[in-house]
Amino acid sequence: MSAVFAKLAHPWRQAGPLPGLGLTLGISLTWLSLIVLIPLLALLIKASGLGVHGWWAIASDARVWAAMKLSFGTALLAALIDTVIGGLIAWVLVRYRFPARSFFDALIDLPFALPTAVAGIALTAIYAGNGWLGHWLELAGLKVAYTPVGIIVALLFIGLPFTVRTVQPVLENLHREHEEAAASLGASRFTTLWRVLLPQLAPALLTGFSLAFARGVGEYGSVIFIAGNLPYVSEIAPLLIVIKLDEYDYAGATAIASLMLATSFLILFALNTLQRRLSRGQIL
Amino acid sequence: MARSSERADAAISEPRWLRWLLIAIAIALILIVVVLPLAVVVVEAAAQGWAAYQNAILESDTLAAIWLTLLVATLCVPANVIFGVAAAWAISKFRFPGKGLLLSLIDLPFSVSPVVAGLVFVLLFGAQGWFGEWLKAHEIKIIFATPGIVLATFFVTFPFVARELIPLMQQQGQDQEEAAASLGASGWQMFWRVTFPNVRWALLYGVLLCNARAMGEFGAVSVVSGHIRGLTNTLPLQVEILHNDFQTAAAFAVASLLTVLALITLGLKLWLERRHGESLARAARTH
């Protein structure tokens, strides 16, 4: 009983005699407040200063809606494709042995390391009408650069490492016994994959999807070069914020930014809840 | 015997032709999505020959951009190291209320668009921002100047070092530090002799990723920089300006510098994972 009271009375010093809690927590909280929290708070205060009507007047503008739909739509689609091809790549890298496997494995992280502006101009050069792939794709009737398809291509590049790198460790740690058991009970390989492996991989796939999506919604550098940035057609929401700022329209920029933040937090919260249910095995 | 184990393998694997088909698809995807952009940078940068390449890089605005990029990284990375080590120490060695919240707040910058990261500083320090009038009266420039670029970069790189250290230091617990304390070590001695040797590779890993992002950040910096040539352009912004000026070869020449940075980062990262993988936190591998 006294131990319980001690715990309640001293929630701050449970771990033992180590020094430095005050100093390190002080530094962390000060840094965090100054760099992240207060600036974000300024955004929220500015947004609430607009009032509901003022905020809605900006947020309901047709050009803003088009940009929001484009940003979230392309991010969802790209994250979905990345989940499929990322899952496939992770599977091949973990399960199969082939020449230069670790070389290809290492390359997966390139989008993390390559500055987005470089990715942007490189992808534009590849997919423009006179580019390496763009030339052939246009002959086939598909225009990629300066269209929403180009945005998806850029987001695919940015998001791929997120999906591969979340699925890979889970695949490595799967127990092959489950597959053996399923096989010995007469399940076909496909049934085993679908009914035994996929449910075990689902939480990681969803996490990778969420990470790729979160990154894709806000992505700016790699997208603006290849998008063409045509209002109502290929103008993403972050670009619209930049345009408002260039016009010194702080209120407009703030309203769009807060709308973006609120929408993506809602979606990420839903995905997070779904992910937790999946890992507890309540779905599938 | 051999036959039956082969059959067991076949039951939990795919037929040979399918394996090779999947391998081929995966390699093709990696080549198209990841390698092709790399190749295009090299080819386009070299397209006008060595002299043009040299001219593009030695041009005074580009040199100024290199200088500014190095300056920003030199300020951001140490600041992030201090924060990361402090946050990891507090979170891994102590229990206190609100720890979970603190952990999610540290990750917050990952889910905020870089453009919004720039915007928040404009709202605070811009001409019409909260402190705009005051800053103007005291002739201090933050937005459209180096301090704003540093702040915005700091925001987007905020979680990098902390995220590498926290899971590792949580795994390691506090037994070794407590032993050192019971032997009479001071806080600093404990940190330098016990904790630091345990986390130095993870710290280097975090520094590497933080540095790559600090030097390569585009969106956040673009919002606060004002794009003043030779003054407030970092290397990524210089790439954009050259690209918009239709100086494609020069844009790719500057981009190739950043690509080399990315490849060095990848190489060092790989070396750390191979050589010191056991002293990195596996859980923190995804960013």
Interface of A with B in 104-143 (CB under 8 A): 104, 106-123, 125-126, 131-133
Chain B residue numbers touching A117 (CB-CB < 8 A)? 216, 218, 236-237, 239-240, 255, 258
Structure tokens at A118: 């470089």
* B227/chain A closest Cα distance in angstroms: 11
List pLDDT tens digits, range A126-155: 999 999 999 999 999 999 999 999 999 999
User: What pLDDT sits at residue B87?
Assistant: 95
Percent of chain B residues past pLDDT 90, beyond the cut: 68
Please determine, for residue B261, whether its predicted confidence score (pLDDT) is greater than 60. Answer: yes
Is there a contact between B244 and B184 (Cβ–Cβ < 8 Å)? no
Closest CA relative to residue B174, chosen from A15, A12, A23, A19: A15
* Site from A118, A166, A191, A249 to mutate, B interface, most B CB atoms within 10 angstroms: A118
User: What pLDDT sits at residue B7?
Assistant: 52
User: What pLDDT sits at residue B287?
Assistant: 42
Is there a contact between A35 and B79 (Cβ–Cβ < 8 Å)? no
Burial class (CB in 10 A: 0-12, 13-18, 19+), A228: middle
**What does the alpha-carbon distance between residue A96 and residue A109 come to, in Å, rounded to a whole number?**
19
* B43/chain A closest Cα distance in angstroms: 10
Is there a contact between B158 and B83 (Cβ–Cβ < 8 Å)? yes
Note whether A219 contacts B113, CB cutoff 8 Å. yes
The predicted model gives B145-154 an average pLDDT of: 96
Q: What residues have CB less than 8 Å from A72, skipping those under 6 apart?
A: A217, A263, A264, A267
Chain A residue numbers touching B210 (CB-CB < 8 A)? none
Is there a contact between B22 and A96 (Cβ–Cβ < 8 Å)? yes
Please determine, for residue B3, whether its predicted confidence score (pLDDT) is greater than 70. Answer: no
A249: left (phi over 0), alpha (psi -120 to 50) or beta: beta
Angle A224-A240-A154 from CA coordinates, rounded to 5°: 25
**What does the alpha-carbon distance between residue B154 and residue A222 come to, in Å, rounded to a whole number?**
20
| Residue in A closest to B35 by C-alpha | A107
Note whether B89 contacts A253, CB cutoff 8 Å. no
Backbone angles phi, psi at B69, to 5 degrees: -60, -45
Q: What residues have CB less than 8 Å from B145, skipping those under 6 apart?
A: B226, B232
How would residue B182 be classed by pLDDT, with cut points 50, 70 and 90?
Answer: confident
* B58/chain A closest Cα distance in angstroms: 19
Structure tokens at B176: 């070794």
**What does the alpha-carbon distance between residue B11 and residue B152 come to, in Å, rounded to a whole number?**
54
Please determine, for residue A1, whether its predicted confidence score (pLDDT) is greater than 80. Answer: no
Chain B residue numbers touching A38 (CB-CB < 8 A)? 124
Note whether A107 contacts B35, CB cutoff 8 Å. yes
Q: Locate all alpha helices (DSSP H) within A96-147, ordered by sequence.
A: 101-107, 110-113, 116-127, 134-139
The predicted model gives A110-124 an average pLDDT of: 96
User: What pLDDT sits at residue A262?
Assistant: 92
**What does the alpha-carbon distance between residue A17 and residue B183 come to, in Å, rounded to a whole number?**
12
Structure tokens at B193: 């002799």
The predicted model gives B192-203 an average pLDDT of: 91
- Ordered by where they begin, the domains of chain B are 1-46 (no CATH), 49-285 (1.10.3720.10)
Is there a contact between A124 and A229 (Cβ–Cβ < 8 Å)? no
User: What pLDDT sits at residue A17?
Assistant: 66
Note whether B123 contacts A162, CB cutoff 8 Å. no
Chain A residue numbers touching B96 (CB-CB < 8 A)? 11-12, 21, 25
List pLDDT tens digits, range A38-73: 999 999 999 999 999 999 999 899 999 999 999 999
- HSE toward the beta carbon, residue B168, CA cutoff 13 A: 30
**What does the alpha-carbon distance between residue B74 and residue A33 come to, in Å, rounded to a whole number?**
22
Please determine, for residue A276, whether its predicted confidence score (pLDDT) is greater than 90. Answer: no
Note whether A218 contacts B115, CB cutoff 8 Å. yes
- Which helix (H) or strand (E) segment holds residue B78: the answer is helix B60-93
How would residue B8 be classed by pLDDT, with cut points 50, 70 and 90?
Answer: low
Note whether A93 contacts B209, CB cutoff 8 Å. no
The predicted model gives A76-100 an average pLDDT of: 96
Tell me which amino acid residue B55 is.
N
Tell me which amino acid residue B145 is.
A
User: What pLDDT sits at residue B1?
Assistant: 40
List pLDDT tens digits, range B99-120: 889 998 998 998 899 999 999 9
Note whether A117 contacts B216, CB cutoff 8 Å. yes
DSSP string, A219-275: --HHHHHHH---TTTT--HHHHHHHHHHTT-HHHHHHHHHHHHHHHHHHHHHHHHHH
List pLDDT tens digits, range A203-218: 999 999 999 999 999 9
* Site from B21, B112, B163 to mutate, A interface, most A CB atoms within 10 angstroms: B112
CA A177 to mean position of chain CA atoms: 33
Note whether B236 contacts A116, CB cutoff 8 Å. yes
User: b/e for B72-87, b at 16 or more Cβ within 10 A?
Assistant: bbebbbebbbebbbbb
pTM of the model: 0.90
Start-to-end Cα distance in chain A: 43
User: What pLDDT sits at residue A10?
Assistant: 52
**What does the alpha-carbon distance between residue B258 and residue B264 come to, in Å, rounded to a whole number?**
10
Note whether B108 contacts A28, CB cutoff 8 Å. no
CA dihedral (A148, A154, A160, A163) positive or negative: negative
A96 vs B: CB within 8 A: yes
| Residue in A closest to B240 by C-alpha | A117
Percent of chain A residues past pLDDT 90, beyond the cut: 73
The predicted model gives B253-258 an average pLDDT of: 96
* DSSP reduced 3-state for A1: coil
Any idea what DSSP says for residue B109?
Answer: G
* DSSP reduced 3-state for A142: coil
List pLDDT tens digits, range B32-82: 999 999 999 999 999 889 999 999 999 999 999 999 999 999 999 999 999
Chain A residue numbers touching B112 (CB-CB < 8 A)? 40, 218, 261
Is there a contact between A203 and A278 (Cβ–Cβ < 8 Å)? yes
Chain A residue numbers touching B163 (CB-CB < 8 A)? none
A166 vs B: CB within 8 A: yes
User: What pLDDT sits at residue B58?
Assistant: 94
Chain B residue numbers touching A183 (CB-CB < 8 A)? 8, 11-12
Note whether A220 contacts B129, CB cutoff 8 Å. no
